Amino acid sequence: MKTEDICWAGVDQLRAALRSGQLTTTQLVEILLDRIETLDPSARAFVDVYSEEARARAAECDRQPGTEALHGIPYALKDLIDVKGRRTSAGSAVFSDNIATDDAEVVSRLHRAGGVCLGKANLHEFAYGATGENKLFGTAVNAYDASRLAGGSSSGSAAAVAWGLVPFALGTDTGGSVRSPAALSGLVGLKPTYGLLPMQGVVPYSWSLDHLGILARSVSDCAAVFETLTDPKMSGQSSGGGRTQSAWASLMAGTALRGKTIGVPREFFYDNVDEEVLAATENVIDFLKRAGVSVKEVATPDLRFARTVSLTIQMPEALSFHMPWLEKRPEAYGEDFRTGLALGQQLLAEHYVRAKRSMTIYREEVDRAFETVDALITPSTPIVAPRVGTIDVSINGMTEPVGNAMMRFTNFFNTTGHPAISVPSGMHSSGLPMGVQLVGRAFGEWELFAFAQAINAESAFKLPRPAV
């Protein structure tokens, strides 16, 4: 394999090359570390690179060839996720000296699976923000246009994968912070069912809404990592159904969609969308029809107050966690996060309890929708990647804050906890990627992968490699 091809190879390709002896883990790690050294000053994907540890881990993998699912495969972690003995900054000066005393549970699983961590990825401070902008470390930027945002809050995780620095990365998703950067950066981004991936050892933002998620360049890669993280041998429990070899084969062949129905929630989720983004979503729906999928329009819950419900849960929970540091070092927090915490101080227990009740009602209403459909489809974001520093965006003559726009279609499914995945839907005339969001039943990740894989494999929705 050529060096450039290695940088863009997927998990399965790399596994095959490593197991055949075509490539050693040491060679792979050195190629990616060189690429990080060359490109990351522009990408600003990483806040810490674990060069020495990665080389030692690579040498260990080469000395002891294994059959573990991710043996020798490099990855990056959003800098909310603990690695023993290393800093977890959470993108903030507040945690500049926060050294983890143990690995996060998800890191332990990746280690047991043979993965090689290359370092920690950039993010919006404490994951509070959709843009991914960070004054402390600089802002991770889009691989397709470095004047544009990679998306947030898992900005560095998205940039690391999109710039060809790692084959996959882990992020967190509280309102769309994996799916939105995936859509804006031309990636696949999965938010699994709430609670399925353990948050132990992950700095929380809002424990009722936080999800760990996966960013990769293909559905196949995303599914491979998901399978590893939810493998009973890794986790001590099932993933809520899991998959069989035959299910994976049918998924890859596209035959898993026969007899399936996809729901189209047009109210709210198709309102005020960039014309090309909307057209791309309709093209995906037409493709699924041709593939034999039934399409059904479905009603949505009343979502007028959905964002208010989310914020009413987020801010008191964030305040509860941050109060010790806020009292001692308020000046170390960025202005936008301090403002958010101040909002949390204004909310009453009654407001929080009512919002939690609304959360339950929303989940039950979406569960009912899945009595007649197997998945839902929406645009992932109503816009393509905005320019760095954008405050407001105008869509069809209507203006809204950029962060609201970027999370408008993803946020609700953190409230309900259903699994959701963003998949590329083509290129915008601006030269930027677009994405569609697929939402599935609770613990229905493999059914969701079936829809996602069919879309991902269709040539009409494939994206060119970024010119980086």
Give domain status of residue 358, yes or no.
Answer: yes
What is the C-alpha to C-alpha distance for residues 40 and 159, in angstroms, rounded to an integer? 9
Specify if 287 maps to a domain: yes
Q: Comparing C-alpha atoms, which of 110, 125, 38, 44 is closest to residue 77?
A: 110
Active site residues per annotation: 78, 153, 177
177 neighbors 130 (Cβ within 8 angstroms): yes
Residue 63 domain flag: no
Work out whether strand 261-264 and strand 294-297 pair parallel, antiparallel, or are unpaired. Answer: parallel
pTM score over 0.85: yes
Q: For the segment 285-298, what is each residue's pLDDT rounded down to a tens digit?
A: 999 999 999 999 99
CB atoms within 10 A of CB 361: 14
Q: Do residues 26 and 55 lie in contact, with contact meaning Cβ atoms separated by under 8 Å?
A: yes
Q: Which domain holds residue 231?
A: 120-305+351-461
Query: Which single residue is written with the structure tokens 């979502």?
Result: 303
For 155-203, what is each residue's pLDDT tens digit? 999 999 999 999 999 999 999 999 999 999 999 999 999 999 999 999 9
Residue 452 sits in a domain whose CATH number is 3.90.1300.10
Residue located via tokens 């690579």: 58
Examine residue 130 and state whether it is found in any structural domain, yes or no. Answer: yes
Structure tokens at 7: 């940088």
CA dihedral 43, 131, 359, 261 (to 10 degrees): -60
Could you give the angle at the alpha carbon of 91 between the alpha carbons of 88 and 92, nearest 5°? Answer: 95
**pLDDT one-digit tens code per residue, 395-436:** 999 999 999 999 999 999 999 999 999 999 999 999 999 999
Q: Is the pLDDT of residue 238 over 50?
A: no
Alpha-carbon distances of 25 from 11, 108, 403, 405, rounded to whole Å: 13, 19, 39, 41
**For the chain, what is the mean pLDDT?**
94
Residue 326 in any domain: the answer is no
Q: Maximum Cα–Cα distance for the chain, whole Å?
A: 62
Sign, CA dihedral 441-442-443-449, equals positive
Strands 433-440 and 375-379, bridge-based pairing: antiparallel
Residue in the structure block whose two tokens are 């791309």:
280
- The answer to the question of residue 325 being in a domain is no
Convert the pLDDT of each residue in 50-83 to its tens digit: 999 999 999 999 999 888 999 999 999 999 999 9
pLDDT digits (tens, 9 = 90+) for 323-358: 999 999 999 999 989 999 999 999 999 999 999 999
Q: Is residue 34 part of a domain?
A: no
Candidates 238, 40, 54, 267; CA nearest to 156 is 40
Number of domains in the chain: 1
Kindly state whether residue 1 falls inside one of the protein's structural domains: no
Average pLDDT value for residue range 30-39: 98
> Given the structure tokens 């991936």, which residue do they identify?
197
Tokens for 267? 């109210």
